[in-house]
Amino acid sequence: MTIKNYSFGLLFLFLFIFIAGNDLDNKPGKTANTTEERNTMTERLDQFIKNEQKLSGAIAGVSIRSADNGKLLYENIGDVRLSPASNMKLLTAAAALETLGEEYIFPTEILVNGKVKNGDLKGDLYIKGKGDPTLLPADLENFAAKIKEKGITKIEGDIVGDDTWYDDIRLSPDLIWSDEHWYYGAQISALTVSPNKDYDAGTVIVEVKPSEKGEEPTVTISPETDYIEIKNKAQTVAGGSEEDLELRRLHGTNTILIEGTIPAGASHVKEWMAVWEPTGYVMNLFDEALKEQGITWTGQVRTGTAPEKSEVLFTHESMPLSELMIPFMKLSNNTHAEVLVKEMGKVVHGEGSWEKGLEVVEKQLKKLGMNTDTLMIRDGSGISHINLLPPNEISNLLFKVQNEKWFETYKNSLPIAGKEDRFVGGTLRHRMEGMEVYAKTGTIYGVSTLSGYVKAENGERVIFSIMLNNLLDEDDGPAIEDQLVKIIAQSYEQVMK
């Protein structure tokens, strides 16, 4: 090799290294090395993720974008698919608002199949559910009162619950057995009822209060219903002892077993428990409401399908979707998410199922700019451990939806940090006080996530998605997420210069 050629080779190598180095410096997520770059957002995030002991052996996916132009400013394994937990609801909410619209309502119909004469209905009475997750026991009482107002006091036929608006698959595909008896694993039916205005459809509230030492504690159910059987094997123990109660619903039944101990003088224990077969639960309450009005019938209370020729006596309408978004997103209501998935399937494909509903979700997400080829979606709520989303795709969705007409409804449905009101602060009401953060939380075993919008200290709005997987304790996640968001807010001005 000649000296000339050797020199040329060295020059070429130098230029290659120089260009490659500059190219790497421009990629988001690279740790800063120069004096000028130290303590920038990139440097601080990199160091925090590297040094946080509770992330040792875990996976931390982080994606940060400008809310103004969508530019990706930082990522840590941003294209790696991770379990989103309830961050999946960000996708479901966007798809529902796009598909159904902000004013969409869920009707419940009261129908008759027969003639009414002199207070006598010669035929069957139907209550047909069309997915309303906000139906309350008081609504069923009102239905009974209205039926009486229509002049019906005797029914020569059956009282029938029609839940055929959706299919009869009650549980989402990957729900684990230990979640089935809790409110967040409630069964999905087109005819369902909630115990209170948190709208946890398909559940009852079980309250356990201590009695005197050595006695069984007192147990109450709300709403009062004999659809649930309580087996109370618990005991009240000496005051000052540790509470050790276990409540569980026996699989395939509506028997709730209560075991363990509760100290005398202690606070009550309250749990929301899912019922087995929500349609039957509605019919039990409706049965009692009709009896309270003095309405009698000769047949039985059962489920079935209202004939097409049935006459609609009256229709009850739910709150619009724009209002439903508040309890859905603020309180992270799994049942609402799955109802919305089935409703989208029913409206678009005529089939209220997870399969058809998720087809609609994916189509709408693609329309909203997500790369659906990178996603694995199994439900609407995020309770499945098989759901997989890249942080960069979540942050991209949060950027794209800003241009939609329903964005303010979407944004305002997100929990707001530090706001005490449950229907404002939601799952962030005790977190990041003093910061302006609108974000969706997510938690399942080993997973904690947080994605949304933060106002940086320089006044700019920043989009972020933080997905922590393989945690030994998912309860460690919120503190880590909050610190990452704080770093973003404090350091964002530097990265924009």
- Lowest-confidence segment of 32-41, 115-124, 221-230, 434-443 by average pLDDT: 32-41
- Percent with pLDDT over 70 in the chain: 91
Give the Cα separation of 217 and 227 in Å (integer). Answer: 21
The pLDDT, as a whole number, for residue 28 is 54
For 284-302, what is each residue's pLDDT tens digit?
999 999 999 999 999 999 9
More confident residue, 240 or 134: 134
For 353-384, what is each residue's pLDDT tens digit?
999 999 999 999 999 999 999 999 999 999 99
User: How confident is the model over 277-285, as a mean pLDDT?
Assistant: 98
The pLDDT, as a whole number, for residue 387 is 98
User: How confident is the model over 406-411, as a mean pLDDT?
Assistant: 98
Going by pLDDT thresholds of 50, 70 and 90, the confidence category of residue 493 is low
Helices 88-99 and 334-349 cross at an angle (nearest 10°) of: 40
Query: What does each C-alpha distance from 62 to 69, 142, 405, 481 come to in angstroms?
Result: 18, 50, 28, 10
The pLDDT, as a whole number, for residue 485 is 98
For 45-54, what is each residue's pLDDT tens digit?
999 999 999 9
For 140-155, what is each residue's pLDDT tens digit?
999 999 999 999 999 9
Report yes or no: 174 and 386 within 8 Å, Cβ to Cβ: yes
For 195-207, what is each residue's pLDDT tens digit?
999 999 999 999 9
Note the maximum CA span of the chain: 115
Give the Cα separation of 392 and 451 in Å (integer). Answer: 11
Q: What angle do CA 210, 212, 214 make, to 5 degrees?
A: 100
Going by pLDDT thresholds of 50, 70 and 90, the confidence category of residue 492 is confident
Going by pLDDT thresholds of 50, 70 and 90, the confidence category of residue 320 is very high
Is a pLDDT exceeding 50 seen at residue 116? yes
Going by pLDDT thresholds of 50, 70 and 90, the confidence category of residue 59 is very high
Going by pLDDT thresholds of 50, 70 and 90, the confidence category of residue 179 is very high
- Lowest-confidence segment of 34-38, 276-280, 470-474 by average pLDDT: 34-38
Active site residues: 86, 89, 332
Going by pLDDT thresholds of 50, 70 and 90, the confidence category of residue 14 is very low
Is a pLDDT exceeding 70 seen at residue 132? yes
Going by pLDDT thresholds of 50, 70 and 90, the confidence category of residue 10 is very low
Is a pLDDT exceeding 50 seen at residue 60? yes
User: How confident is the model over 156-178, as a mean pLDDT?
Assistant: 96
Going by pLDDT thresholds of 50, 70 and 90, the confidence category of residue 5 is very low
